[in-house]
Amino acid sequence: MIRADKPLAPAGADSGPRTQDPGLLICARGIAKVYRRGSTEVVPLDDLDLDVPRGQFLALMGPSGSGKTTLLNLLAGIDQPSRGSLHVAGTEIGQLSRSRLTRWRADTVGYIFQLYHLLPVLTAWENVELPLLLHPLSASDRARRVGLALDLVGLSGRGDHFPRQLSGGQEQRVAIARAIVADPPLLVADEPTGDLDREAAAQILALLRQLVVEQNKTVVMVTHDPRAATAADRVLHLEKGRLIETALAAGSGAS
Amino acid sequence: MKRLSPRIIGNLIGLAVTQVCRHPLRTGLTVIGVACGLFLFTMVEAMHRGLERATAANPEDRRLIVFREGRFCPNTSRLPERYGGDIARVPGVARVLPTLVVVSSCATGMDVVTFRGVPPADVASTLADPTSLAAWRERSDAVLVGPALAQRRGLRPGTVFEAAGVRATVAGLLTSDEVQYQNVAIAHLDTLQRLARSVGTVTQFDVVVADPATVDAVASAIDAVFAHETEPTRTSAEKAFVAQAAGEVLGLVAFARWVGLAAAAAVLVVVANTVLIAVRSRVQELAILAVIGYDSVAVAILVMAEGLILGLVGGVLGVAAAAVTLYVGGFSLTSEGFSVVFALDAGLIASALTITLLLGLLASVVPAWQAARRPVVAALRGG
């Protein structure tokens, strides 16, 4: 278990206004995202509602340009909605200042990228340790947590390897260890298997599934791959900025 | 992220150190650039401080130099040795030391040897340790050498050396802190007079007055005594005399200070350029840190810590190289027999390191601000 003796910070603590619904980790109402590109207004998401209960593995699918990554960025607090309310882990994050949003992210969200995005000059251990450097933990506490995280992703013997010395699947597992090391309630993954072969992809999906089942993490995953989506409890399709619920495939992760 | 605590700041600085160490080529080149700039700056400032020590007047100064009027080089200033008795009788004079100065060159140079011939009985016991002083008094060809001269020429007790037509044996080292004893060889007056074919004459009289407040009055009184002699005198406070004699050095040092400032400016540009390149080449990395939870303050601390580390490491190396060079080289600038010894003291070291820290900080402010303000989503796309 990566879960620490006590959480580094209760989700939403010291981060802003709280919602009252404890069953939902994510509650979006009428959110929209509007960009201006020159004189053109681009609306990748419009009037979108979404509820995600705690401990659910949600897959977001849809064609390119449908707004999947935009929605993921909003849920992860990397970006903010232009309209609507967005409560995540008990906090209305749409109104937070940039610095409070960043602090909230550190406590609440673990982000897994398609291309892993490990820092190349740091070892696997140091990459996993990065989120913990923002917490006033002792070196031994940090070491214990990093060790647990690497152990959980099956890379306890690779801590001193640099990213260039790891396979794609191993890099992604290090990225997952980095995402979970601070014990956030929400993991967001942007096509986490998009750059992996089938076997490595299956291992990553199994790992995400394990985090949901064993640690009650809430996972929101963007994917193009229908096979990957079967690992999820629930699949939503984004079409032209709107969400459409999809029936689960047989043998999905929920079954 | 929690509010910044000393431990978190320490973590961020540790991460910056790791980043700097893991880019050895970039770090090495930058550190070398900073070290070269700080080396030059420290050398020039050491020269400037040496000049200040030699020429800056102090209200407590009690020393006068009596020189031949209208002459500036020791080789041309000749005064009868008998003037010493007349000077000693001037009211306010506490001590008179007749001195014959022989220099290897009257021009400004960095390896000029200055012999000062003085009566053995009149040499203060504080100038050298008793053993060296006794050895010097026993041998008429013996000299006591200043530490800068000894270091530069590799002189030790027993060494025989020759300069300005004088062959001398080193009896010991001078231990005085006074500037004008750092780069000289103290010889027996009669020996030097014989070798310089100046028996009965000296170059100057070193005078100590009883009351510092009477320095100007005593100087005027001394010159008045000899005003109608065939060899009239010009008496000045020692440091004013050195400042006048070392006029060429003053100009040189003033110019060199600009070179030192240019070196400091170059350090600023080198560090700023490196940090800016580092930040621009790591747009995505910094965005990933932002996604992980590094807010703009944390990112700014990381970037500025890199600038500070590069500046500090380069600065320490540059100052250390300057210290070693000055110690081994024993550098001094001598003009007309008066020396400006390069002075590297704790104050200069502290100033140089403070400057390099400030430059490192200043150089990384703009890159840090740019990195901290960049929108995360755009930066993740590599923009």
Quick one: B90 and B179 in the same domain?
yes
Q: Is residue B126 part of a domain?
A: yes
Interchain proximity B8–A135, CB inside 8 Å? yes
Report the pLDDT value the prediction gives residue B246, as an integer from 0 to 100. Answer: 72
Q: Is residue B109 part of a domain?
A: yes
Domain that holds residue B334: 6-55+248-380
Quick one: B258 and B158 in the same domain?
no
Residue ending a domain, among B189, B204, B231, is B231
Quick one: B98 and B141 in the same domain?
yes
- Smallest Cα distance from B292 to chain A, Å: 6
Q: Is residue B241 part of a domain?
A: no
Q: Does B380 touch chain A (CB under 8 A)?
A: yes
d(CA A224, CA A229): 8
Report the pLDDT value the prediction gives residue B20, as an integer from 0 to 100. Answer: 92
What number is the average pLDDT over the span B159-180?
A: 88
Quick one: B286 and B353 in the same domain?
yes
The answer to whether B376 and A69 have CB atoms below 8 angstroms apart is no
Q: Is residue B238 part of a domain?
A: no
d(CA B112, CA A173): 71
- B-chain CB neighbours of A102 within 8 Å are 1, 290, 293-296
- Smallest Cα distance from A83 to chain B, Å: 18
Q: How far is CA A186 from the centre of its chain?
A: 6
Q: Which amino acid is at B266?
A: A
Q: Mean pLDDT for chain B?
A: 87
Could you give the count of Cα atoms lying within 13 Å of B163 in the half-sphere of its Cβ? 23
Please count the other Cβ atoms lying within 10 Å of the Cβ belonging to residue A151: 15
- Smallest Cα distance from A120 to chain B, Å: 9
Quick one: B350 and B292 in the same domain?
yes
The answer to whether B220 and B214 have CB atoms below 8 angstroms apart is no
Phi then psi dihedrals of residue B277, to 5 deg: -65, -40
Quick one: B261 and B374 in the same domain?
yes
Please count the other Cβ atoms lying within 10 Å of the Cβ belonging to residue A49: 12
Closest CA to B236 of B2, B28, B69: B69
Q: Does B269 touch chain A (CB under 8 A)?
A: no
Quick one: B28 and B165 in the same domain?
no
Interface test with B, best of A35, A70, A134 (most B CBs within 10 A): A134
Q: Is residue B1 part of a domain?
A: no
Interchain proximity A136–B298, CB inside 8 Å? no
Quick one: B374 and B317 in the same domain?
yes
Q: Is residue B351 part of a domain?
A: yes
Report the share of chain B in percent with pLDDT over 70.
98
Q: pLDDT of A192-226, one tens digit each?
A: 998 888 888 999 999 999 999 999 999 999 998 88
Quick one: B289 and B184 in the same domain?
no
User: B363 pLDDT band (50/70/90 cuts)?
Assistant: confident
Token pair of A221, please? 């995953």
Q: pLDDT of A225-255, one tens digit each?
A: 889 999 999 999 988 777 887 765 444 544 3
Q: Is residue B64 part of a domain?
A: no
Least confident span in A127-131, A200-204, B256-260, B377-381: B377-381
- B-chain CB neighbours of A182 within 8 Å are 293
Q: pLDDT of B186-223, one tens digit each?
A: 999 999 999 888 899 999 999 999 999 999 999 999 99
Quick one: B285 and B373 in the same domain?
yes
Least confident span in A6-20, B62-76, B297-311: A6-20
The answer to whether B379 and B290 have CB atoms below 8 angstroms apart is yes
Q: With 90 as the cut, is the pLDDT of residue A124 above it?
A: yes
Closest CA to B192 of B121, B66, B100: B100
Give ipTM to 2 decimals. Answer: 0.86
Token pair of B120, please? 């053995």
Residue-by-residue DSSP string for B45-74: HHHHHHHHHHH---TT--EEEEEETT--ST
Chain B residues 145-204 with CB within 8 Å of chain A: none
Closest CA to B337 of B102, B131, B162: B102
Quick one: B76 and B222 in the same domain?
yes
Number of domains in chain B: 2
Q: With 70 as the cut, is the pLDDT of residue B53 above it?
A: yes
Phi then psi dihedrals of residue B273, to 5 deg: -65, -45
Residue-by-residue DSSP string for A149-168: HHHHTT-GGGTT--GGGS-H
Residue ending a domain, among B187, B206, B231, is B231
Closest CA to B54 of B327, B335, B346: B335
Which of helix, strand or coil describes residue B38?
helix
Label the pairing between strands B204-209 and B63-68: antiparallel
Only one residue has tokens 């009669």, namely B190
Cα dist from B110 to B48, B167, B192, B217, whole Å = 15, 20, 23, 35
Report the pLDDT value the prediction gives residue B98, as an integer from 0 to 100. Answer: 93
- A-chain CB neighbours of B284 within 8 Å are 117
Closest CA to B141 of B186, B108, B82, B173: B186
Q: With 50 as the cut, is the pLDDT of residue B2 above it?
A: yes
Cα dist from B259 to B144, B161, B264, B269, B316, whole Å = 36, 36, 9, 15, 20
Q: Is residue B60 part of a domain?
A: no
- A-chain CB neighbours of B8 within 8 Å are 133-136
Q: Which amino acid is at A108?
A: T
Interchain proximity A105–B293, CB inside 8 Å? yes
Residue ending a domain, among B231, B263, B287, is B231
Give, for A4, the enclosing helix (H) or strand (E).
none
Quick one: B218 and B75 in the same domain?
yes
- Smallest Cα distance from A23 to chain B, Å: 25
Label the pairing between strands A109-112 and A186-190: parallel
Neighbour-count burial for A71-81, b at 16+ CB within 10 Å, e otherwise: bbbbbbbbbbb
- Higher-confidence residue: B242 or B289? B289
